[in-house]
Structure 1
Amino acid sequence: MITGMSQSTGTRGLNFLQKFMSDINVLVLGANGMLGKMVSLHLNSIKDINLSVTSRSKTEFIDKYFNENVFNFELTSEYRENLKKICSNDFDSVINCIGVIKPKIDEFDPHSVSETIKTNSYFPLELQNLCNELNIRYIQIGTDCVYSGDNGNYTEDSFKDPKDLYGKSKVAAEIEGLNKYLIRSSIIGPEKGKGFSLMNWFLNNEDHQVSGYKNHLWNGVTTLNFAKVAEGLIRNPEFEFKTQHLVPRNLISKANLLEQFKFTFDKEIDIKHIDAQQVIDRTLKTNFPETNKKLWKNAGYVEVPSIEENIEELFHSQFTNEIMN
């Protein structure tokens, strides 16, 4: 049956079938970060995905899980040439997990400012152009921090009004491109040690009481959610969006988010619900709810999950245990 189809459709049909039946070649840039670790572990567990990753240096994590198919890559003065060599290895999709996160930025340090702009702004644009040139599907995570948080319910076409360097640096990275799929959300996920994220700050907190803001609202996703959505996107070329907000079924306050961490991870920490001086609501909504549903469905979810369900899934994931221990 397949042979007959190949013969009737000619060379183009044969090439398509060979591509369809072959393994998928994927590159994850930045496999050592919070997002990169989860995305890499998940994709590496899929039999028909040939995964390659990049890392700035050899680490225990890289040595343990990716002793092969690892490219050394960091944003030095020669990174453009190195990036082109790496991306020329016949990849079908590239996922960029490289970025400078907000807690690591010092807006009063010129070097920190320069590195942030290079990493969060210029590099994704160069990667976007290269993937377009090589006809590689490029998946980039976006952030809710391109919005000030003054209004909430931001859609894909809402005006971007970030107030800090992190948000401003990410705006440039979100320029749309031909082969680019921007998935905008806010992420939480496991890290080794104390890390820099809200989740790990809470889980590793040695105090018996912490404060959580009840007037800071959130409706993001977990790193595991994003990894599974990325896999679904890699497998389904019919997606045609350029920018899509990935949103769960509900929203939650940051105080109640901590309560969910406490309940799910069984932590004995009292949480004091307080009002911050400034209300922040960076919650996202989407102009394309059917695409949002389809992304979740292709990721293996029967319906759009709740934040509570996502955290429960994250807790039970073997990858969370592998990252944190």
Structure 2
Amino acid sequence: MKILVIGRNGMIGNGIFEYFSNKYEVHGTLKRFARDYPIKDHINIIENIDLKKIELIEEVINDLMPNVVINCSGIIKQKSVEYSNDDHIYLNGQVPHMLLKNCQKKDIKLINFSTDCVFDGKKGSYSEEDTPNAIDVYGSSKAMGEISQDGCLTIRTSTIGLEIENKHGLIEWFLDQSGKSISGYDNAIYSGLTINELSRYLEHILINFPKLYGLYNMASEKISKYRLLSILSEKLRYCTIDIEKNTEFYCDRSLDGTLLNSKTGFKVRSWEKMLSDLALKIDERELLKN
């Protein structure tokens, strides 16, 4: 299986690239030169692919002719303020549809990622039947990019893990607080996956359900961010953080992943197991630093 990962420099893109590279022929695009990123090697890397010039990625797809294109590009919530509304609409909302049009001509499967942020977080346990109701341009633009038609599998999810570039996500922020005291939100409810678990799930789908198309939630058991960080903290060897429970903030964007689980038969591992794996990766990175 030949795979093209668009946006290898992001957390999801890098995680998927590294996971699948162990078994398959995987190519990945970078927004800038490879030397600008702390990546292990530059094998199968395509540099300087800015999706504001959609013809560049179309040329890459035409040259490689992969079996699967995995779109991990787009504006992330943590950097949303740095972009205009038009940028959000184009990169998050329109690019996925442009990619599908190109892939359909060549019978290439497209995997596209959406987010739990398409919802306002007031009720939680959102299913595929719930209508997106984000109140910001980020969530609204991601909803625009959700595709339900044949040729594309849109995975609505959230993920945590290590990053190679901006390090704006929950885990990198948490690790930067080593030696400090932080608030852990007990009423911020989360149903994402670690990037490794997401990659395992995606591989299961590609191997066993290659013709699965449409929009699906990919989710874990619900957990509070306070509990998530507390479990992770207990498993880390080289990072000590005092977490104080905070119950004032409320947000529940949890997704109901029942439909995808029943379609595929995949069982997402417990948070204990997912975070044990993540803690090992964090400890390995800390050892390399020293």
TM-score using structure 1 length? 0.80
Matches of residues 91-170 of structure 1 in structure 2 within 5 Å? Answer: 91-106=66-81, 111-170=83-142
CA contact (8 A) 2:34 2:42 kept: no
Which residue type is aligned with residue 316 of structure 1?
L
Partner of 2:255: 284
Matches of residues 63-78 of structure 1 in structure 2 within 5 Å? Answer: 64-76=40-52
3-state SS of the aligned residue for 1:72? coil
Larger Rg belongs to: 1
Q: Does 1:53 align with 2:28?
A: yes
Partner of 1:34: 11
Q: Does 1:82 align with 2:53?
A: no
CA contact (8 A) 2:148 2:215 kept: yes
Matches of residues 299-314 of structure 1 in structure 2 within 5 Å? Answer: 303-314=267-278
Q: Does 1:216 align with 2:188?
A: yes
Which residue type is aligned with residue 59 of structure 2?
K
Structure 2 unaligned blocks of 5 or more: none
How far apart, in 1, do the equivalents of 2:44 and 2:131 lie? 43
Q: Render the CA deviation track for 1:31-75: whole Å, top value 9, x for unaligned.
A: 1111111111111111xx211111112234576323345253112
Q: Does 1:261 align with 2:271?
A: no
3-state SS of the aligned residue for 2:12? helix
Structure 1 unaligned blocks of 5 or more: 1-23, 297-302
Partner of 1:44: 21
Q: How much has 1:292 moved relative to structure 2?
A: 5.9
CA contact (8 A) 2:123 2:253 kept: yes
How far apart, in 2, do the equivalents of 1:318 and 1:149 lie? 29
Structure 1 residues 26 and 211: CA distance shift in structure 2, 3 A: same
Which residue type is aligned with residue 254 of structure 2?
T
Partner of 2:197: 225
Structure 1 residues 193 and 276: CA distance shift in structure 2, 3 A: farther
Identity of aligned residues (%): 27
Matches of residues 173-192 of structure 1 in structure 2 within 5 Å? Answer: 173-192=145-164
For the aligned residue pairs, the C-alpha RMSD in angstroms reads 2.5
Q: How much has 1:171 moved relative to structure 2?
A: 0.3
CA contact (8 A) 2:26 2:44 kept: no
